[in-house]
Chain A
Amino acid sequence: MKREEWDKKLGTCKERNFEFTTVSGLPTKVVYTPDDITGFEHDRDLGYPGEFPYVRGVYTNMYRGRLWTMRQFSGFGTPRDTNKRYKYLLKHGQTGLSVAFDFPTLYGRDSDDSFSRGEVGKCGVAVDSLRDMEILFSGIPLDRISTSMTINPPAAMLLAMYIAVGEKQGVPPRVLTGTIQNDMLKEYQAQKTWIYPPKPSMRIITDILKYCSEKVPRWNTISISGYHIREAGSTALQELAFTLKNGFTYVEHGMAAGLPVDKFAPRLSFFFNAHLDFFEEIAKYRAARRIWAHMMREKFNAQDPRSFLMRFHTQTAGCTLTAQQPENNIMRTAYQALSAVLGGTQSLHTNSMDETYALPTEKAVKIALRTQQLLAYETGVAHTIDPLGGSYYVEALTNELEKGANEYFEKIDRLGGVIPAIEKGFFQKEISRSAYKYQKALEKHDKYHVGVNIFEEEEKPGIEILKIPPEVERYQIRQLRKLRKERNNRRVKEALGLLRKAARDGGNLMPRILDCVREYTTLGEMCSTLKEEFDVYHEPIIF
């Protein structure tokens, strides 16, 4: 049958009254054919797995060689509570750790800070000093596990604490593997966890890049994160474009600080969201790999192929979980996880069904982990690399996202680059407008969310919820006060003085922070010292 004939036939079919766009609002066609990828060349546009431009995956045999790392983000209460949870997860087959810190820690404040009231141990584990970090990893050998830490403004301090714990376990820094998020650009754009203004923040980041390229060479120094951009309400395209542009900005800063690109680019990794729209997500990961590879080779003249690799962690989309009919979240998360695996992720966190209410219970987190294990061991999806490669739809969508991202790059360049665009509120405006548009689409029933605006039920969820008792805060504050009495306060003061001096003189902050950490200087003490030198950030309010 000829296309024209088929089109005519299609015209006679009745279509459901439904808006056939991706969750991000991209129009979709009823069918895709070779016409949608004219000029497609296999070797140039796809290549083989582990080969330029890496669309199909960053490694040659991908999951046949090694499955993705199953890494559940977790942390709550005191370091002792979380240490127990880590051991539970490792016992059930988890292969990497991922630390969730509480809000005071994320903002570099001690548990007894007035701003920390009510927040200690609530959304993650409270870490005030090296002592807490020692408890957090007690009985967990740092040379045999990789650890990801979601930490941004105080990333240098937490990394230093991790290094110091390693020292105490007899594990040298060069052996340590793991990730710090350390992505401040997306904080100003979306996640809004900041302390200092962008300029000193970028300096801290380049200090970390320099230090790690020498001393902690296996550490992933920045996890360039689109996850939070997406959670704040962006579209898939915005997530892709803003994240990669942030990545290029870190590369530019690293190079401007005198680091050869191949010295640090291989240690940059990415972190993406796995949202509702199955194919759009897969196309997003594929497009990201191609864009990154081309830019690293052609714009930044990287030589080492490892600099071309867009390696990434994925987390299923927290913002898509529903409080209504929470068990549905198990299925939702499974589809999202499948898109991440088909998209070639290096590690994965699957959300637990109860996470709209609180941090997950042991049972809920086990189901989430089992969801990944099911994918890996039962479904067969890990046998063949990029099985959707060559699909007319997926290739067309990949191209479309790549094109859209390039348009965003130009727009951001016209604004003077990422930091000036942040100061002008560009990203904030783009994201909050998308969020509002999506909310309106839900309310107009142009988009559906099962249990929320379709197939609703009158029910009260009967699932169990993890509660953090208020004793946690009191306990943590008591421990902190005890520590302040026991440590050598003269040496703490000296170490802080040297940190301040380095902040002023422009010396690398990492060694000074490590010295502070070894003396059990608290996170709050280090951050306030730097705050006095670097000032604090105030956001421009943009709707």
Chain B
Amino acid sequence: MYKKIRVLVGKPGLDGHDRGAKVVAAALRDAGMEVVYTGLHQTCESIVEAAVQEDVDIIGLSILSGAHMTIFSRILKLLKAKKAIDILVIGGGIIPDDDMKRLQRMGVRKLFGPGTPTSEIVDWIKANAGKSKKRPAKKTRRTRRAPKKSTK
């Protein structure tokens, strides 16, 4: 089966620090994923709508403004309303320990703190993407291979 992992990388809220989001987006691309980048200053509504229409496996949010509690809970609520809770929500940024625990109880699947190597994020996504996706019966009738890096 030829299934690309699709990830939405989003910057919700007002915070304009997009260094981390862009580095992660580029790293995921270089790991062979299709990355929908939303740009800055997105509302939770538009992020969730984009995730649904783009049928991504994962929503990854970068939040450095301290508004993580508000934003993550809103994203999860909207996903639930759209019956799209099979889309995993992960995040990165400056999130204190006890907030992290609360967010994970709330349903945020994984949070990456500052200094996380991008390879760790890539590995986690590869191991978890698509696992909870509810799909109609899969009929793998043909196979196609991903374009491979030419070695010549």
Contacts and interface: CB of A to CB of B under 8 A. Distances in A.
Contacts of A104: 14
Nearest to B95: A357
A193 B16 contact: yes
Contact of A323 (B19, B26, B39, B113): B113
Nearest to B72: A118
A465 B97 CA distance: 10
Nearest to B11: A192
Interface string B6-26: 000000011111110011011
Nearest to A443: B117
Nearest to A192: B16
B65 A358 contact: no
Contact of A543 (B16, B22, B119): B22
Contacts of B119: 443
Interface string B101-125: 0000000000001110111000000
A224 interface: no
A107 to B, nearest CB: 5
Q: Which of B14, B27, B65, B118 has the most CB of A within 10 A?
A: B14
Given A322-B114, A357-B94, A118 B71 contact: yes
Interface in B29-59: 37, 39-41, 43
A112 interface: no
A64 interface: no
| Chain B interface category by residue count | 20 to 34
A320 to B, nearest CB: 11
Interface stretch (A203-211, A254-262, A431-439): A431-439
A118 B13 contact: yes
Given A119-B66, A122-B65, A324 B14 contact: no
A468 B70 CA distance: 13
B96 interface: yes
A439 B37 contact: no
Given A103-B14, A449-B115, A539-B40, A118 B69 contact: yes
Interface in A184-213: 187, 191-193
A106 B14 contact: yes
B16 A191 contact: yes
B65 A103 contact: yes
Interface string B75-114: 0000000000000000000101100000000000000011
A60 interface: no
B14 A116 contact: yes
A541 interface: yes
Contacts of B65: 103, 119, 122-123
Interface residues of A, number: 43
Contacts of B16: 187, 191-193
Interface string A103-121: 1101101000001111100
Contacts of B13: 103, 115, 118-119
B41 to A, nearest CB: 8
Contact of A439 (B27, B70, B97): B27
Contacts of A436: 22-23, 26-27
Contact of A358 (B23, B66, B113): B66
Interface in A447-485: 449, 451-453, 460, 465, 467-468
Contacts of A117: 67, 70
Given A115-B14, A449-B115, A432 B26 contact: yes
A233 interface: yes
A151 to B, nearest CB: 14
Interface in A210-237: 231-233
A193 B95 CA distance: 22
A541 B26 contact: no
A507 to B, nearest CB: 30
Given A103-B65, A104-B14, A358-B96, A231 B115 contact: no
B22 A432 contact: yes
A116 B41 CA distance: 11
Contacts of A324: 115
Nearest to B43: A115
Nearest to B120: A443
Contacts of B66: 119, 122-123, 358, 468
B115 A323 contact: yes
A439 B23 contact: yes
Contacts of A358: 66, 94, 96
A357 B93 CA distance: 9
Contacts of B18: 192, 232
A477 to B, nearest CB: 14
A74 to B, nearest CB: 15
Nearest to B73: A118
Contact of B19 (A233, A539, A541): A233
A192 B40 contact: yes
A140 interface: no
A175 interface: no
A427 to B, nearest CB: 13
Interface of B: 13-19, 22-23, 25-27, 37, 39-41, 43, 65-67, 69-71, 94, 96-97, 113-115, 117-119
6 contacts: A104-B14, A107-B14, A118-B13, A123-B66, A231-B19, A233-B23
Q: Which 3 A-B pairs have the closest CB atoms?
A: A118-B70, A192-B16, A118-B67
Interface of A: 103-104, 106-107, 109, 115-119, 122-123, 187, 191-193, 231-233, 319, 322-324, 356-358, 432, 435-436, 439, 442-443, 449, 451-453, 460, 465, 467-468, 539, 541, 543
Given A103-B14, A357-B94, 4 more contacts: A103-B13, A323-B113, A449-B115, A465-B96
